[in-house]
Amino acid sequence: MNQTLEKSIFEYSQPGRGAFAQHPPVADGAAVLDTLPPALRRRTPPRLPEVSELDAVRHFTRLSQLNFSIDTNFYPLGSCTMKYNPKACNQYAMLPEFLARHPLAPDTQGQGFLSCMFELQEMLKEVTGMKAVSLNPMAGAHGEFAGVAMIRAYHRARGDLARNEIIVPEAAHGTNPATATMCGCVVKEIPVDAQGDVDLEALAKAVGPNTAGIMLTNPSTLGVFERKIEAVAKLVHGAGGLLYYDGANLNAILGKVRPGDMGFDVIHMNLHKTFSTPHGGGGPGAGAVGVSARLEPFLPVPVVGREGEGYRWLSEADRPQSIGRLSAFMGNAGVLLRAYVYMRMLGREGMSRVGEHATLNANYLMARLRTAGFDLAYPTRRASHEFIITMKRQARELNVTAMDVAKRLLDYGFHAPTTYFPLLVPECLLIEPTETESRETLDAFVESMVAILGEAQTDAARLKGAPYTMPVRRLDDVRAAKQLELTWKPVNSAA
């Protein structure tokens, strides 16, 4: 990793400089702008950098070198499934014909693309056990939105207008309650028991005539399989509610269990997790949704349909009860192509191995870290594809926190696990190795964790000050939030 800070692109800028190969030829009718009313014209040019092409290429390449990434580092970020993103997926999603295709081009000019989308829908149905799929949502949270909106639409269509409560286990990802609120629902949180399973008694009390549904992740955010899932489904369905499956952790069970078979009515899948499309520094994701038969009419449009040998978009006219459109066109098409390539390369055998080896790696890492002296949050449980260690004891005895360990890991060349999530477990590190990491990598991670634990006992201050080898040391978050500097300004500027 490059440890030298890179100056701002604006500091390279010089009036009159430019990447002139990128300027189009002057149009014959350039004077046409003079016919625009002066009141509608821009008076001063925008402050964009004026740099040569090489300046730009070097600057952004150097910026890239200030990042950890899967391609450069083990990235065991729990709940994020940071597995290898095969290069082929990118290469074949970026074929010129795919890139050039306009979203409003007729279906006849997109049979290749549409056939991939149709087959992707079919494959996602198969691996999740759902009846129908829409590829439209553009991220996990967007898929959640679609899912809860469908649940609401379903109840409304039946005239069941009172059902506006969404039940969420307290360990849930923050998007779950935020989504419920966005959909105009009221959130009811229920506890989980000491073993990490949903508290059935609390659930039984929570359900009723106002229950729209429950949002669950399984395996849960606690890194364990929800063993009472069949009882949960029975309770919620019995009360007239529907079950929503948050697919954040689908990688753990791919090829082993299907949400549809567990009784879920609607699910979203994070294609950027389970199906290895890139995280891209925070997006684009893709949050396809799957539903049981009774929710199919409500799926967001468009959906790809097959007629004879051809494929076409199904829109509002074909799906009058649809919850509508969630994007201007049809979602993150290019991401969907990457997921398609990934699934075709894995095939049925490869797909079943994903859940198995993700689980193997997590349980191996968990076993080794426990032997090395770390405390597990749920020591009596199997790990799913991830698990939690808690630094509560070290925080009390040594004044070393989960955040200190996370920051020190960066110095050892490992991206930190997820810290302080789930909120339920104090001083927690949520660790997800994924199936694409080798035993040697996992062993090296364990060795580093052992070394850090040693430092915690002998030189806690060393951890408190970490990291030391990154381009910057720990940053002043309080200053960032109080003295908002959200755009770059010249150093000598008074502003």
Partner 1 sequence: MPFIPHTAADVQHMLHTIGADSIDALFDEIPESLRIQGLEGIPPGLSEMEIGRLMSERASLDGRPLSFLGAGAYEHHIPSAVWAITTRGEFYSAYTPYQAEASQGTLQLIHEYQTMITSLTGMEVSNASLYDGGSAVAEAALMAVRAHRRSRSLRLLIPSTVNPSYRRVVQSTAGNQGVRFETVPYLRESGCIDPVALEGYAGEDITALVIQQPNFFGQLEDVDRLTDWAHAQGMLVIAVVNPTSLAVLKPPGEWGAKGADICVGEGQPLGVPLSSGGPYFGFMTTRMEYVRSMPGRIVGRTVDLEGRPGYTLTLQAREQHIRRGKATSNICTNQGLLMTAATIYMTLVGPTGLARVAERCTAQTAALVAALAQVKGVRVAFAGSRFHEAVVLLERPVADVLRRLESQGILGGVDLAADYPELGPALLVCATETKTTADLQRFVDSLRRVLEAA
Partner 2 sequence: MSQVPAELKYAKSHEWARLLPDGRIEIGITDHAQQALGDLVFVEVPETGRVLEAGAACAVVESVKAASDVYAPIAGTVVEGNAELAANPELINQDCYGRGWLMRVQPASATALEALLSPEAYSAVLASAEA
Measured CA distances, 13 to 10, 24, 48, 147, 495 (Å): 5, 21, 9, 47, 19
Residues between 93 and 112 with contacts to partner 1, criterion CB under 8 A: 93-106, 108-112
The residue among 481 and 486 lying less far from partner 2, judged by its C-beta, is: 481
Burial degree of 344 (CB within 10 A; 0-12, 13-18, 19+): middle
Cα-to-chain-centroid distance, residue 254: 17
The residue among 182 and 257 lying less far from partner 2, judged by its C-beta, is: 182
Neighbours of 355 (CB within 10 A): 22
- 201-209, 223-231, 237-245, 473-481 -> range binding partner 2 (CB under 8 A): 473-481
- For 90, the token pair is 């990118």
- Which of 481, 491, 494, 495 binds partner 2 (CB under 8 A)? It is 481
Q: Does 486 bind partner 2 (CB under 8 A)?
A: no
Measured CA distances, 434 to 157, 222, 292, 415, 431 (Å): 41, 16, 29, 14, 9
Q: Does 160 bind partner 1 (CB under 8 A)?
A: no
From residue 121 to residue 160, the character string flagging contacts with partner 2 as x (rule: CB under 8 A) and all else as - is ----------------------------------------
Burial degree of 290 (CB within 10 A; 0-12, 13-18, 19+): buried
Radius of gyration of the chain (CA): 25
- Which of 100, 477, 486, 495 binds partner 2 (CB under 8 A)? It is 477
Give the β-pairing of 211-216 and 165-169.
Answer: parallel
Q: Does 47 bind partner 1 (CB under 8 A)?
A: yes
Q: Does 28 bind partner 2 (CB under 8 A)?
A: no
Q: Which letter does DSSP use for residue 329 in this model? A: S
Q: Does 82 bind partner 1 (CB under 8 A)?
A: yes
305 contact, one of partner 2, partner 1, none, CB 5-8 Å limit per kind: none
- Which of 27, 99, 100, 478 binds partner 2 (CB under 8 A)? It is 478
The residue among 103 and 454 lying less far from partner 1, judged by its C-beta, is: 103
Residue 290, classed as helix, strand or coil, is strand
Q: Does 361 bind partner 1 (CB under 8 A)?
A: yes
Q: Does 288 bind partner 1 (CB under 8 A)?
A: no
Q: Cβ distance 377 to 430 under 8 Å?
A: no
Q: Does 482 bind partner 2 (CB under 8 A)?
A: yes
The residue among 235 and 403 lying less far from partner 2, judged by its C-beta, is: 403
- Which of 120, 121, 144, 165 binds partner 1 (CB under 8 A)? It is 144
Residues at the site binding partner 2, with contacts judged by CB under 8 A: 477-478, 480-482
